Every structure is written in C-alpha cells, then in structure tokens.
C-alpha cells in the first residue's frame, strides 16, 4: 500500500493551487499535520476545511478519518518493523567520534530532501527555467543570500537573463517593476522570515511572474503568493543548517543543465573563453616590468 506522501507527490500536478497549499502543509510536518483536525490542517495551510476534504478525495481516500488511519498505520509500521529500523539506521562513521556526531545530523538532512521536496514542484521549476523566460530574478535573506548568489551565478552560465537581486526594493527595484509574464522570481526565505521576501513575492505575483519560494519545513509567509514551493529540512545547532538548501540548489542547476545541454554548453564555452581572455590580459606584464 502506497504511503500517503507518495500519493501526494504523484498527484501534485493534478491539484488545484489551494489543494497544493494543503499538500505542502501536510508534507512540511509529516505525518503529524494530518493527525490534527481537518480544520487545523486547513488553518495551517491558509485554506478551508472543504479544500482539505477535496484533497483527501483526490488522493483516493474515502474521507479524513481514513487519511488519519493510514497515517497512524505508517507510524506503527515505522516504529515496529525491525527491517525498516535497520534500513534507516545509518552506519557508524569511521571518523573522529566528535566530528562524526556533528556530521551525521547534516547527512540525515540530505537524506530527507527527496521525501520533503515534492517531485512535481521541482519538475515545474525546472520546466519554467528551461522555457526561455524573459527574466529570472533571485533574492535571498540575511544568511541565505550567499547561497542565492551561487544559484544565480551557476544558472547564469547555463541560461540567459538571470540576475541576483541583493536590493529588491533598492537598486534592483526596477528589475521587479519591469517584470512581465514568462518571468521567474525565486525567493529564498528561511526562518526567521523577512518581510521583504514576502513583499517581493507579492510584487512578482502582481506582475504576472511565476513565483518560486524555497523555504524551510515551517513554510515562509512568502508561500502565500507562490506558484511553486520547495521546502527543505534545516535543523541545526546553533543556527539552521543550509546543507539541504545547497544540495537542492545543485540539483536545480544540474536538472536545468540536463534539459538544456546543447545551448548550455555553448553558453558555458563563451563564458570560459571570456574568462580566459580576461585572465590572459590580467597576467600580461606591465610595460615597466619588462624593461
């Protein structure tokens, strides 16, 4: 019998925007979110109880009680099956015990990405990136902006019209005001969430752009205006971990490259040629040094 989250992943493309909100809320706190009342799940998702029930029906279930029963069964199987526990138990790291204890939780974050990020949402993002958008604007938060720059820099070598916007309501404001349909705005917003990120998502939505929010499992308020939401696990001490975000960024870049290989290779070669020209010029000795 398929897991509920597997059903959600498989049918994400068929859901209405409101149903996707419920699905995201359920996946973000799986399976606990589905063990609360339908009204509570609806509130967490920012939708209505009828929307929750429609999603349950779309998953092929007879009603909300069946959803909860299936989720409880999954918990029981996970907790009682020796085989499952053995498969999920990672091998002891053959390194310094203290370092291993610090590395292991981050490795677990990576393992959770595939089950937390809906494959349909990931595929939709790659599809819009390879569809020759008019513009791809990327912004991040206080810490996440560093990884947003990596995403922007790598995508810029693969596809045209990519920009990192460090000041969406400052020097980069014009880029958002010029947005039209067939544009993509990627907002990276992790807890503690930033008001500017929500405003960027709202403005981009008003301009007709496809809004993508990459966030943590608690879901940024920016997702209210998002067409595509990619949540990643972030638990870490003392700060949230960006290991999952980096892996997701690399997956986005690689998937984009695979879908645009011919044109991407051509663009990358042009980048490489220009880079070598710059380096060659920079390495030329100064006339005074030759004499």
Threshold 0.85, pTM exceeds = no
Instruction: Indicate if 83 and 130 belong to the same structural domain.
Output: no
What's the confidence (pLDDT) of residue 85?
47
* Bridge partners of residue 153, in order along the sequence: none
Contacts 24+ apart (CB under 8 A), 36-40: 38/64
Domain-located, residue 180: yes
Task: Characterize 177-199 residue by residue with b for buried, 16 or more Cβ atoms within 10 angstroms of its Cβ, and e for exposed.
Answer: eebeeebbbbbbbbeebbebbbb
Instruction: Indicate if 260 and 158 belong to the same structural domain.
Output: yes
Instruction: Indicate if 157 and 258 belong to the same structural domain.
Output: yes
Residues in the chain, overall count: 291
CATH classification at residue 72: 1.10.10.10
Instruction: Indicate if 269 and 139 belong to the same structural domain.
Output: yes
Q: What are the residues whose beta carbons fall under 8 Å from the beta carbon of 198, sequence distance 6 or more? A: 189, 220, 221, 222, 224, 225
**Domain end marker among 89, 107, 132:** 89
pLDDT band at 259 (very low <50, low <70, confident <90, very high): very high
Q: 3-class DSSP state for residue 166?
A: coil
Instruction: Indicate if 144 and 254 belong to the same structural domain.
Output: yes
pLDDT (tens digit per residue) in 267-287: 999 888 887 655 555 555 555
Domain-located, residue 108: no
Instruction: Indicate if 244 and 123 belong to the same structural domain.
Output: yes
Domain-located, residue 264: yes
Instruction: Indicate if 266 and 228 belong to the same structural domain.
Output: yes
Domain-located, residue 110: no
Give the burial class of 67: count Cβ atoms within 10 A of its Cβ; 0-12 exposed, 13-18 middle, 19 or more buried.
Answer: buried
- Residue-averaged pLDDT of the chain: 85
Residue 195 phi, psi (nearest 5): -60, -35
Which position has the higher pLDDT, 112 or 176? 176
Q: Are 122 and 24 in contact (CB under 8 A)?
A: no
The residue-averaged pLDDT of 102-120 equals 84
Sign of the CA dihedral 217, 213, 244, 82? positive
What's the confidence (pLDDT) of residue 112?
84
CATH classification at residue 166: 3.40.50.10490
Structure tokens at 264: 């991407």
44: left (phi over 0), alpha (psi -120 to 50) or beta: alpha
Domain-located, residue 283: no
Domain-located, residue 104: no
Instruction: Indicate if 131 and 169 belong to the same structural domain.
Output: yes
What's the confidence (pLDDT) of residue 119?
86
Which position has the higher pLDDT, 129 or 279? 129
The residue-averaged pLDDT of 196-206 equals 93
Domain-located, residue 162: yes
Domain-located, residue 133: yes
Q: How far is CA 231 from the centre of its chain?
A: 5
- How many domains are contained in the chain? 2
Instruction: Indicate if 218 and 157 belong to the same structural domain.
Output: yes
What's the confidence (pLDDT) of residue 239?
85
Instruction: Indicate if 69 and 154 belong to the same structural domain.
Output: no
Domain, as residue range, for 123 = 119-274
What is the full DSSP assignment across 98-125?
HHHHHHHHHHHHHHHHHHHS-HHHHHHH
Instruction: Indicate if 254 and 127 belong to the same structural domain.
Output: yes
Instruction: Indicate if 131 and 79 belong to the same structural domain.
Output: no
What's the confidence (pLDDT) of residue 257?
96
Which position has the higher pLDDT, 119 or 255? 255
Positions of E strands within 151-256: 162-164, 184-188, 210-216, 228-232
**Domain end marker among 43, 69, 89:** 89
């Amino acid at each position: 019998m398929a897991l509920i989250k597997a059903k959600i992943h498989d049918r994400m493309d068929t859901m209405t925007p409101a149903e996707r909100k419920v699905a995201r809320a359920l996946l973000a706190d799986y399976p606990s979110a589905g063990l609360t009342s339908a009204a509570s799940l609806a509130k967490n998702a920012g939708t209505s109880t009828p929307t929750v029930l429609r999603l349950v029906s779309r998953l092929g279930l007879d009603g909300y009680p069946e959803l909860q029963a299936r989720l409880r069964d999954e918990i029981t199987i996970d907790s009682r099956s020796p085989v499952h526990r053995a498969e999920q138990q990672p091998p002891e790291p053959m390194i310094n015990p203290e370092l291993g204890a610090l590395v292991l939780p981050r490795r677990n974050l990576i393992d959770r990405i595939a089950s937390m990020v809906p494959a349909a949402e990931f595929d939709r993002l790659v599809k819009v990136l390879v569809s020759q958008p008019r513009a791809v604007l990327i912004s991040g938060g206080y810490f996440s902006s560093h990884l947003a720059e990596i995403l922007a820099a790598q995508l810029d070598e693969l596809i045209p019209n990519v920009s990192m916007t460090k000041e969406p309501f400052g020097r980069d404001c014009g880029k958002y005001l010029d947005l039209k349909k067939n544009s993509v705005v990627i907002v990276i917003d992790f807890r503690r969430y930033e008001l500017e990120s929500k405003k960027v998502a709202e403005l981009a939505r008003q301009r007709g752009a496809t809004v993508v929010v990459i966030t943590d499992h608690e879901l940024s308020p920016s997702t209210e205006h998002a067409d595509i939401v990619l949540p990643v696990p972030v638990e870490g001490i003392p700060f949230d971990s960006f290991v999952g975000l980096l892996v997701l960024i690399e997956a986005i870049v690689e998937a984009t490259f695979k879908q645009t290989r011919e044109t991407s290779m051509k663009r990358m070669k042009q980048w490489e040629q220009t880079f070598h020209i710059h380096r060659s010029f920079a390495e030329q000795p100064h006339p005074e040094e030759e004499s």
